[in-house]
Chains A and B, each alone.
Chain A
Amino acid sequence: MATALATSLRSKFEFELRGRVATPFTYRDRQVFEVLSTGIPEIDISLGGLPRGAVTEICGPPCSGRTSVLVSTLASRTAEGEVCALVDARDSFDPYLASVAGVKLGKLLWVRCQNIDQALRATDLLIQGGGFGLVAVDLTDIAPQTVRYVPLNTWFRFRRAVEDTPTALLLMEQEANAKTCASLVLRLETQQARWSETRDAGTQDSTQYPYARLLKGFRIGAEVVRSRVPPVMDWNPRYGTDGRNASRKLETFKTEASWSFRG
């Protein structure tokens, strides 16, 4: 009886959804993602990189290293010759620093928005346009309360648009909002700022000799909140490990201040 009812319901659903959904009761095969390098060895070894054809969220409070990850990823992608796009929701990207970090500015399409509405529309256009290796949407300067109001179907639409394409969609926010649409959610937090140690500055009061001190960078912690990306699929030629047994615990990495890159 139950089987007959199930069959009847199934055929009814299939009839109603004909032309829109080809096989509503067939599970899709688990997606195998191609990954791209972030340029940060610790993250790449742990995760393999960011998945293409999927949505990745990088979240964290202000000053937690989100921009460092973004700049590093852009540098890595543009160095490979890929064309990337950055949707800057509050026009806060620093091209000079990006250039110092190795981002090929000629390969980066920078869309300087003024609000989240513009940013989401620009993202839509870029994904539909296609051909970008990475589309990064920087919503970190938008108040989390505002980003929470973005309808879930927007994230679903983005996910569907990048699916089966070589584009990696990177969302930078203070909180993860895309829910199940994100294939990878990475949360960052600053552990400490690193200052240069000098003979004069080696005192208890860190403000005493400001002229003898430089900001060296930050120590940043990264934690995988959610991941549908299987552990590293390919052998990573750069780091010499396949990372299959890499753990997903909190990874820490150091960033360097831009002055340390100048010769």
Chain B
Amino acid sequence: MVFACIYIPDFWVQAVVRTEQKLCGKGVALLSGSPPLWNVVAANPTALRAGIRLGMTKAQATDFAGVQIRQRCEPQEKTAHAALLNVGWSVSPRLEDTAVDTLVLDLEGLETLWGSVEKVAQELAQCISKVGLVSRIAVAGNIEAAIHAARGFAGITVVAEGQERESLSNLPIDVLSTHQDLRDILERWGVATLGALAALPVLQLSERLGQEGVRLHALAGGTHQRSLVLAELSSSFEEEIELEDSVEELEPLSFLLGRLLDQLCARLEARALAVRAIHIRFELEPSFESAVQAREDESRKKTAAKEYRKVLTLPSPVRDSKMLLKLLRLQLQSDAPASPIQKIVLRVDSGAPRVTQNGLFTPRAPDPEKLELTLARLAKVVGDSKVGSAELADTHGPENFRMKGFTAAPVRNGRMQRMRLSTAEESGKEIAEPKPTTGFRVMRPAVPANVKMRAERPERIWFRGMQGEVKAASGPWRSSGDWWEERVWDQDEWDLAVEFESTRGKTEPGKNTFPLCGVYRIIYEAKSQSWLVRGFYD
């Protein structure tokens, strides 16, 4: 068996640095506790070299120039750990979630796919760096030896089979996961390295430290064997960032969103998945008025921060972070949050990426990714509800359609009709010639009109300041429906050939957009007892 262990040193610090790239290479110390009792709970080697010590108060820590002080952020640690898991699953489905900063992978049988174990380790290191973490990777014949080697050695380490004891002998006792009391005892005995611990006689060790002593002896010698505890595959992809200073402008917000999306896309890529929908959640700064109100009413608890939520659903799964950022920007431009943003949470619904292979004879259609961007831009110009494709409703009432999102659905065979025609020609059948339909232009909203009736048929019509004579008429075609609802409709439709005689004011040359001599559809609404011009034939 071959196992690889991924260990992230200073995990708490790296989880913070991962979301704040400007902290890369700088000394960072993390504070935790309840204010005002803040203490340093983690620091990276640069900060430790600068003089930071764990347990320092915030006041002491801030005295060190060049050391960035941040608060420990558990949600960021959670997302960093999720990202790490995704990287692990991208290489091997057999994975143990040993600790928040440690994963163990079973590499058995992966040689044919990835090559040697060194190559696998290099691939892992590259993938982990893509999600913004620096790792130590060790490969060994047993799980514990791999874990200890990863904790003890920087970079990539391969422990040869049978050489575990020699390889681990120089590592300090601290790499072992055991109680502090036992470590203190070993320290008092002068046992500082795993080599020294492994050299102790196991029987005497058992007499003094019990079964834990025997376990530690096996661990130090690299002979401890155990089974892998497999982690369950997670399909949750979430990234979040809590901001020290609230963001109000779109540009800095885009920068942050871009980084989160990059990380999400890297995680999805590691699992060969793509984005199906993005759930955006912003925690907003409480507005001034509500803050004043909260202060006035002391008995009331602190009001919960307002939230901004939005869901961006994509017609086909996408993994291009730049395109996703553009879509998010367009969404935010059309519907901006009301207050400055304190916290950003992006959650992704994943799906299998789109297969782009098209047939040679598939009719042309817009690229789904580009189309989504175009639709978002169009929605920004004309409004969300004004772009899409029409879907007819099951009614004979006026405006019997609703708008739905447009998707360029794949066509099974677009040339089917042409093929049918060719086949019909070959078989000598008569091909029905297409008949052009008379077009109709709808006036939205319908224009009020006055109609003079004579012997129950329209004789003259007035609308938009014009008077016309009815030359031919067809109707009335009566229809009604939805009487059980408020939007009941009951109307008589007429097709009238009208010739307008006079123009008063509103039909200057070059300005009229309706025919002075044409066929109109006029309706009489029984409910409002009024005449309306619905449109004209064109």
Contact A210 B438 (CB under 8 A): no
Structural contact, A62 and B518, CB atoms closer than 8 A = yes
Known: A63-B538, A111-B378, A143-B511. A131 touches B476 (CB 8 A): no
* Residues in A92-143 with C-beta less than 8 Å from chain B: 92-102, 105-114, 118, 121-122, 125-126, 128-133, 140-143
- A257–B436 alpha-carbon span in the complex (Å): 9
8 Å CB contact of A93 from B375, B442, B471? B442
Contact residues in B for A109 (Cβ distance below 8 Å): 375, 387-389, 406
User: In the bound complex, do residue A92 and residue B442 qualify as a contact, i.e. CB atoms below 8 Å apart?
Assistant: yes
**A255 x B436 contact (CB < 8 A):** yes
Look across to chain B and name the residue whose beta carbon is closest to the beta carbon of A127.
Answer: B374
Q: Are A207 and B457 in contact (CB under 8 A)?
A: yes
Among A19-27, A77-85, A154-162, the one that faces the other chain is A77-85
State whether the Cβ of A180 lies closer than 8 Å to any Cβ in chain B: no
Query: Complex formed: what's the CA distance from A254 to B437 in Å?
Result: 9
| Distance of B444 from chain A, by nearest CB (Å) | 5
Number of chain A residues close to chain B: CB under 8 A? 88
> 1/0 contact trace for B449-486 toward A, CB 8 Å?
00000000111000000000011111110000000000
Q: Does B473 contact A206, Cβ atoms closer than 8 Å?
A: yes
Are A110 and B389 interface neighbours, CB within 8 A? Answer: yes
Contact A112 B387 (CB under 8 A): yes
Chain A positions within 8 Å of B, measured between CB atoms, are: 39-41, 61-72, 75-76, 79-83, 90-102, 105-114, 118, 121-122, 125-126, 128-133, 140-145, 148, 166, 174, 190, 193, 195, 206-208, 210-211, 213-215, 217-218, 237-238, 253-258, 260-261
Contact, CB under 8 Å: A92 / B443: yes
Q: Which residues of B351-390 have CB atoms within 8 Å of chain A's CB atoms? A: 362-367, 370-371, 373-375, 377-378, 381-382, 386-390
Q: Kindly list chain B residues whose C-beta atoms are within 8 Å of the C-beta of A195.
A: 472, 474
Asked if residues A100 and B433 are in contact (CB atoms below 8 Å), the reply is: no
Q: A69-B436, A97-B440, A256-B436 are in contact. Are A215 and B365 (CB under 8 A)?
A: no
Q: Across the two chains, which residue of chain A brings its CB closest to B537?
A: A63
Residue among B406, B436, B514 with the most chain A CB within 10 A?
B436
Q: Assuming A41-B434, A213-B474, A238-B421, is B519 touching A63 (CB within 8 A)?
A: yes
Residues on the A chain within 8 Å of B494, using CB: 210
Say how far A139's CB is from chain B's closest CB, in angstroms: 10
> Which residues B288-344 have CB closer than 8 A to chain A?
none
Q: Assess the A210–B476 pair: CB atoms within 8 A.
A: yes
Bound form: Cα–Cα A210–B377 in Å: 48
A214 & B439 in contact (Cβ 8 Å cutoff): no
A206 and B459 alpha carbons, distance in the complex (Å): 11
CB nearest neighbor in B for A99: B392
**Known pairs A68-B439, A166-B364, A256-B436; A125 contacts B374 (CB<8 A):** yes
Q: Does B34 contact A (CB under 8 A)?
A: no
Residues on A with C-beta less than 8 A from B421 are 237-238
- A2 to B423 Cα, complex, angstroms: 64
Q: Given known contacts A193-B472, A238-B421, is B440 in contact with A125 (CB within 8 Å)?
A: no
Bound-state CA distance A106–B377 (Å) is: 20
Q: Which residues of B contact A90 (CB under 8 A)?
A: 513
Could you pull out 23 A-B pairs where Cβ atoms are within 8 angstroms? A40-B436, A62-B513, A62-B518, A63-B519, A65-B538, A66-B538, A68-B538, A80-B417, A81-B413, A90-B513, A94-B441, A96-B401, A108-B390, A122-B382, A126-B378, A141-B513, A143-B512, A193-B497, A206-B472, A207-B459, A237-B421, A254-B436, A256-B435
**A68-B436 Cα distance, complex, nearest whole Å:** 7
Q: Which residue of A lies closest to B361 (CB)?
A: A81
Whole-angstrom distance between the alpha carbons of A95 and B392 in the complex?
8
Cβ of B247 to closest chain A Cβ, rounded Å = 28
Q: Please give the distance in Å from B462's CB to the nearest CB on chain A.
A: 17
Contact flags B515-538 to A (C-beta < 8 A → 1, else 0): 111110000000000000001111
Let me know if A113 and B382 touch, CB within 8 A: yes
- Closest B-chain residue to A256, C-beta based? B435
Which residues of chain B are near A237, meaning CB under 8 Å?
A: 418, 421-422, 425
A210 touches B371 (CB 8 A): no
B322 → A minimal CB distance (Å): 16
Residues of A within 8 A of B387 (CB): 109-112
For the complex, what is the distance from the CA of A158 to the CA of B442, rounded to whole Å? Answer: 27
Cβ-closest 5 pairs across A and B: A81-B414, A67-B439, A131-B366, A63-B518, A129-B374
Q: Is the CB of B390 within 8 A of A105?
A: yes
Q: Are the C-beta atoms of B364 and A63 separated by less than 8 Å?
A: no
B441's nearest neighbour on chain A, judged by CB, is A92
- Among residues of A, the one whose C-beta sits closest to the C-beta of B365 is A83
